[in-house]
Amino acid sequence: MQTPAALLASLPLDTRVVVRRRLDDGFTDSLGDLVALDRVTCTIRTRKGDDVVLLADITAAKPVPPAPPRRAPRR
């Protein structure tokens, strides 16, 4: 089985991913486009901005389908 970091390294940049990482008091997810990856961190571009994640903190990662199109505003 591949480690989450190895899986991320096998994906092309701009792939939409979800990454789960360990925090002091639990876990959190980052959902967005993989925009950068090096030996220590990966950067996920979420709706709220870029999220830099330490690879050592990642417990799971996988590619996900593209986001659905936004709905038109109500009138």
CA atoms of 36 and 32, how far apart (whole Å)? 12
CATH number for 12: 2.30.30.520
In this prediction, residue 69 carries a pLDDT of: 87
pLDDT at 70: 85
| Residue 75 within any structural domain of the chain | no
Neighbouring CB atoms inside 10 A of 71's CB total 6
Alpha helices by DSSP H, 1-75: 4-10
* pLDDT score for 29: 96
Tally of domains in the chain: 1
The one-digit pLDDT tens for each residue of the chain (75 residues) are: 789 999 999 999 999 999 999 999 999 999 999 999 999 999 999 999 999 999 999 999 999 999 888 888 888
Cα–Cα distance between 60 and 46 in angstroms, integer? 17
Q: What is the largest CA-CA distance in the chain?
A: 50
Q: Tell whether 70 is covered by a domain.
A: no
* Residue 50, CB-side half-sphere exposure with 13 Å CA sphere: 9
